Amino acid sequence: MVDRTAENILARFSDLENNPHETIRPYTEFNVDGELYYFTPGGFLYRRDPATEEVGGFFCGYLPDEVWRYRTGQQAQGIGAPVKAKRRPWWRRIFGA
């Protein structure tokens, strides 16, 4: 059975040109047409099983890696703002190594 709602969710989040400011947080549930959906790390979309409170449910599809990174703030090459420089480890900052 095709889940048209899930297809619409994936299409909307995949459209970086028309919806550039929408963000995603893993495991944050959102209600669409009376059904609860959520993304797991990596961009996998699930519809929650109403019979259980546990993580799991019905797999509905996934976002491409570059879209997932953009939507979660994990910038990919050439997408969005530049990535911040990494901080040196604490022991190097203290001891100057």
Check the CA dihedral 17-18-21-27 and report its sign: negative
Mean pLDDT, the chain, integer: 82
pLDDT digits (tens, 9 = 90+) for 21-47: 899 999 999 999 889 999 999 999 999
Query: Which class for 71: exposed (0-12), middle (13-18), buried (19 or more C-beta within 10 A)?
Result: buried
Beta-sheet strands, E only, within the chain: 30-32, 35-40, 44-47, 58-62
Identity at 71, one-letter amino acid code: R
Of the two residues 77 and 41, the one the predictor is more confident about is 41
pTM higher than 0.85 for the full model? Answer: no
pLDDT of res. 73: 87
